[in-house]
């Protein structure tokens, strides 16, 4: 998965409040690959490793999937994370080179994201809650298409959508599954959440919506016995849901660090002109 982030206010990236001397105050985390683990060993030998409990910044070595795992691990702690690409896509990562890491951290700019909170009720009436950094998606479980009713802020907006699924993404997730489903890339700082159908059958020409970030979205599953639906918030899947609520959780924040010449605003713009 790929993603993109930015500051809360939309006024551009901030400078992180990191101490001047970072030696021994970094924790290095590596994806379970030979390349990433070898890079971690070299960096620990150069800079020491404070461990997650005593560090003031995380350096994550891997790809975008590992960065997503790292953000979930530290969700609620607001630990600034600086990624270096030891994976494949690396949309959320800075370029990997290890010689000037402390200088790069000192010059890094911060980007902030609030996750989505999913509240899903299953057929037994049990409530399941999870946070999503990329997106919350509803997906059909069988050969039968899903049939959904959509409400936004308590008002019915679409009485019936027949589709393979639908998703609501963060600005981060707008370049991930949302883009693959032909949803719009959301420019940073717009405070918008894309809602994108997946293979919509009826209404055939409906392509989704852009919602304000404070919107509350409710999906009601119609004919759930005939057309069972699963709800997924990043890694958490709930089967046979009846109703799903999605909204931004501004009580949680994630902070990513980027080299000044490798900012996400530029990459978001460039992605829209990729052919």
- Give the annotated binding-site residues for NAD(+): 64-65, 134-135, 164, 172, 175-180
Burial class (CB in 10 A: 0-12, 13-18, 19+), 214: exposed
Cβ atoms within 10 Å of 207's Cβ, excluding its own: 12
64 is catalytic: yes
- The residue from 64, 153, 240, 249 that is catalytic is 64
Summarize the annotated binding site as residue ranges.
Answer: 64-65, 134-135, 164, 172, 175-180
Q: Strand, helix or coil at 37? A: helix
Q: Strand, helix or coil at 255? A: strand
Alpha-carbon distance 197 to 178, whole Å?
9
Alpha-carbon distance 33 to 38, whole Å?
8
In sequence order, the 6+-apart residues with CB closer than 8 A to the CB of 230 are 138, 139, 140, 141, 237, 238, 239, 240, 241
Structure tokens at 173: 């997730």
Structure tokens at 5: 């982030």
Beta-sheet strands, E only, within the chain: 26-30, 57-62, 81-85, 109-113, 116-122, 127-132, 135-140, 146-152, 155-163, 165-169, 192-198, 209-212, 217-221, 229-233, 236-238, 241-248, 254-258
Tell me, rounded to whole angstroms, the distance of Cα 46 from its chain centroid.
31
Active-site residues, by number, are 64
């Amino acid at each position: 998965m790929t993603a993109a982030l930015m500051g809360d206010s939309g006024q551009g990236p901030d400078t992180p409040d990191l101490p001047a001397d970072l030696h021994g105050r970094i924790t290095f985390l590596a994806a379970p690959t030979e390349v990433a683990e070898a890079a971690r060993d070299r960096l620990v030998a150069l800079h020491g490793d404070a461990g997650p409990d005593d560090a003031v910044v995380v350096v994550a070595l891997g790809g975008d999937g590992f960065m997503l795992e790292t953000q979930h691990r530290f969700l609620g702690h607001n630990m600034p994370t600086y990624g270096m690409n030891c994976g494949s896509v690396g949309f959320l990562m800075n370029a990997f080179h290890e010689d000037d890491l402390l200088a790069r951290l000192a010059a890094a700019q911060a980007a902030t994201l609030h996750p989505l909170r999913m509240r899903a009720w299953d057929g037994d009436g049990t409530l399941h809650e999870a946070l999503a950094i990329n997106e919350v998606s509803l997906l059909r479980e069988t050969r039968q298409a899903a049939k959904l009713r959509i409400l936004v802020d308590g008002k019915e907006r679409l009485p019936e959508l027949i589709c393979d699924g639908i998703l609501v993404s963060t600005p981060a997730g707008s370049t991930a599954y949302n883009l693959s489903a032909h949803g719009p890339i959301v420019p940073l700082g717009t405070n918008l959440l894309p809602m994108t159908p997946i293979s919509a059958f009826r209404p055939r020409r409906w392509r989704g919506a852009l919602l304000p970030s404070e919107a509350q979205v409710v999906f009601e599953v119609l004919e759930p016995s005939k057309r069972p639906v699963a709800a997924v918030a990043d890694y958490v899947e709930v089967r046979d849901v009846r109703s799903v609520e999605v909204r931004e959780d501004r009580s949680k924040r994630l902070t990513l660090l980027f080299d000044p010449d490798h900012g996400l605003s530029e990459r978001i713009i460039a992605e829209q002109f990729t052919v």
